[in-house]
Amino acid sequence: MDIQSKILRVVQNGEIYRVGGWTPIKVNTRIIAATNKDLKAMVSEGKFRNDLYYRLNVISVYLPPLRHRKQDIAPLLHHYCYIFNKMYSANKGFSPELIDVLSEYSWPGNVRELRNLVERMFILCMEDTFKPDHFYKTYLKSERRDHDFDAFEDGIAVNGIPELGSSVKTLEKIIVSRALKKTGNTRKAAGLLGVSQTTIMRKIKEYKIKP
């Protein structure tokens, strides 16, 4: 709380003091503040100053968690892959299958967890192409206690207890997409999955799967 009062003075009066100094120094700044805490709740609990909260919260921007920004996952994976390739003088990358798996992962630790995963794979995986099996063996098993995971032998990973309807649809979309990618047409994909071609066509329309 003592630090908060000092920050408030900077925000409100545009003044700072050197350590041990008595003369105020004028500053001209714009402040961007970020938090993963519920500041309104902290204000009501007396843990965050009410006046500082309203001074900082002039314009607020909500950044959704990574699990709600699935379109950002693949670009972030490639971004950190590029960084660690330079760092470790390597030439490694993610298989399309693993990109699909990681796009459905919930990322409770958000971008920091994603970066941690990429670096861990660079260190622990000898192959140049990271595959789903690497993810299950090098990451899920070690993180299961923290994130309530179960990784099954058939390659399906469940994070916690997700809502059943949406989870089944997500899994169906992944399976149909992979079958189409592997076979190249709906008839062969239907044969591979043991369903009719009509079912495949319906799933393509339902999940808006690109040919």
Name the phi and psi angles at 152, rounded to 5. Answer: -95, 160
Tell me the C-alpha to C-alpha distance, in Å, between residue 39 and each of 24, 61, 63, 108.
Answer: 29, 14, 15, 20
Q: Are 204 and 186 in contact (CB under 8 A)?
A: yes
Which candidate, 7, 203, 20, 178, places its Cα nearest to that of 96?
Answer: 178
> Could you report the per-residue pLDDT of 184-199, keeping only the tens digit for each?
899 988 888 888 899 9
Any idea what the Cα angle at residue 170 is, between residues 164 and 173, rounded to 5°?
140
- Rounded CA-CA distance 112/179 in Å is 32
> Would you place residue 96 in the very low, low, confident or very high pLDDT band (cuts 50, 70, 90)?
very high
C-alpha dihedral, 186 to 188 to 194 to 196, nearest 10°:
40
> Could you report the per-residue pLDDT of 13-54, keeping only the tens digit for each?
999 989 899 999 999 888 899 988 889 999 999 999 999 999
Asked if residue 161 has pLDDT above 80, the reply is: no
Supply the pLDDT for residue 159.
58
Asked if residue 205 has pLDDT above 80, the reply is: yes
Domain extent listing, the chain: 2-56, 65-156, 163-211
Supply the pLDDT for residue 178.
87
Asked if residue 4 has pLDDT above 90, the reply is: yes
Tell me the C-alpha to C-alpha distance, in Å, between residue 3 and each of 8, 19, 118, 209.
Answer: 9, 13, 36, 53
Asked if residue 59 has pLDDT above 70, the reply is: yes
Taking the domain 163-211, which CATH number applies? 1.10.10.60
Which has the higher per-residue pLDDT, 162 or 138? 138
Taking the domain 65-156, which CATH number applies? 1.10.8.60
Q: What value does the mean pLDDT take over residues 124-141? A: 85
> Would you place residue 150 in the very low, low, confident or very high pLDDT band (cuts 50, 70, 90)?
very low
Q: What value does the mean pLDDT take over residues 166-194? A: 86
